[in-house]
Amino acid sequence: ESSARWAPDVMSFAVTKNLYDPTAGVPFAFSDVYDPLTFSGARSGEARVWSFFSKVTSIPDFQRQFQPYASGWQLAQRMPLHVPVKDKLTVKDLMMHMRDHYEGSILNMTEDVGSGAWAAKFRDRPLTWTYGGDHYVNERSIGTQQSAWHFVANMRPWLPNHIGGVFWFGVDDATFSVHIPFYARCEVPKALRTGTGSIVDVDFEALFWLNDLVANKVYSKWEILAPVVSAAVAAFEDEFFARQSLVEDEALRLWNLGQASPESLGGATAGAWRGGERESAIAIEMSASHLSRYSNALTGRVAAQWLKLWQHLSVTFRDGVMILPPTPGHDHGGKQMGGAVANMLDGSGSGNGQWRDTWKKAIVEETGDHLKGKGGNHVADMHKVQVMEGKCRNAATTRRVAEAARSNLLNIVA
């Protein structure tokens, strides 16, 4: 027995539009008739499903088996509409899979020159581009920079409706956005309210803009900043999960209290009760208001922290380097000469301060000897040691800088 639903004219309409010929002897298939699968349909759409299924299914060798299909190279062997899973998926599992960028698959975007100096998992749009008369694609992963909002809905029928349904909601790119729990009857916080900024008007009270600013700092320095922001996201979400049962237990206590004893509320509120429906309504209001205040407080905390995070990233990672707080005494001659000098790390503090070898290799292969130095880079350091040792102003700082330069020289020579 079929569990599908369809419009009475689902087939006849296709016939009138010349999309389907019932005399051709080909069975009617909805997707083949109304949205025939193409290379771009598979690569930009089905590939996302394939990536998710590959990570959760119990079907052996699923990723390899349907890789040609997801890549758009071989469309005859259709991927299943649904798959059995290895383990029951949790809300947190779904959040993490919404941040998928084809990691561990042939569509991973971090291995070629298009990922830039810091192995970005995104590509700038458009999705398709041409070169030499051929068409090429940029991958469209599940986690994507063009998201406006995203959510995971968790429905638990054993709890009262206003507690059992929790809507884990976030805005902008799910990759770097915190999911905040919201419940039925919750007041929409100002940070998420229509009118707090717009798609073309930056507002530092709008959570969308705060998320967007932080995420866009990551995109150009993915290898360096993605771990920083992902850790901040995880810290909030782990806390929210840890507190969920306590918050909901209190909401359930308030609901039971209102149901069982309206007199316990006292005063005018108790006098306003009128039978079972009124009792239930007030009990729900007490409980739902508690949850609403909680969700609004979390939104405010995330917004405040994301503003601080954006400020920190903007100050620390700029101009192609990592800026650290100044060392006491390291300055341009005190307050009269410009103040403290920040410490600085090349390569934005990544590894040995240089790009990954695949990126350097691409530059060298394209430029040849154009950027190649002669005599090694220790020549400049030797000169720096001699110059710095001869300066008198701010002697303590001079000695430290000279010692650092000499140490660097020894490392290079060794």
pLDDT digits 0-9 by tens, 229-265: 999 999 999 999 999 999 999 999 999 988 776 555 5
Closest CA to 89 of 53, 65, 118: 53
The whole-number pLDDT of residue 363 equals: 92
pLDDT digits (tens, 9 = 90+) for 29-84: 999 999 999 999 999 999 999 999 999 999 999 999 999 999 999 999 999 999 99
pLDDT at 352: 80
pLDDT of residue 405 exceeding 60:
no
More confident: 351 or 402: 351
Give Cβ neighbours of residue 107 (< 8 Å, ≥ 6 apart): 47, 51, 70, 71, 139, 141
Band of residue 343 on the pLDDT scale cut at 50, 70, 90: confident
Determine the pLDDT at residue 53: 98
Work out the number of other CB atoms within 10 angstroms of the CB of residue 331. Answer: 17
Confidence class of residue 383 from pLDDT cuts 50, 70 and 90?
low
pLDDT of residue 379: 52
Mean pLDDT value across residues 157-183:
97
Average pLDDT over the chain, rounded to whole?
87
pLDDT band at 132; cut points 50, 70, 90:
very high
Residues in CB range of 144: below 8 A, 6 or more apart: 122, 173, 175
Mean pLDDT of 121-150: 94
Say yes or no to pLDDT of 134 above 90. yes
What percentage of the chain exceeds 90 in pLDDT?
Answer: 69
Which pTM does this prediction carry?
A: 0.83
At residue 332, the pLDDT reads 72
Provide the pLDDT confidence category of residue 393 given band limits of 50, 70 and 90.
very low
Model pLDDT, residue 187: 96
311: pLDDT strictly greater than 90: yes
Given a cut of 70, is residue 400 above it in pLDDT? Answer: no
| pLDDT at position 414 over 90 | no
Q: What pLDDT sits at residue 238?
A: 98
pLDDT at 214 over 70: yes
Name the band, by pLDDT with cuts 50, 70 and 90, for residue 274: very low
Average pLDDT over residues 134-151: 95
> Cα separation of 157 and 165, whole Å?
8
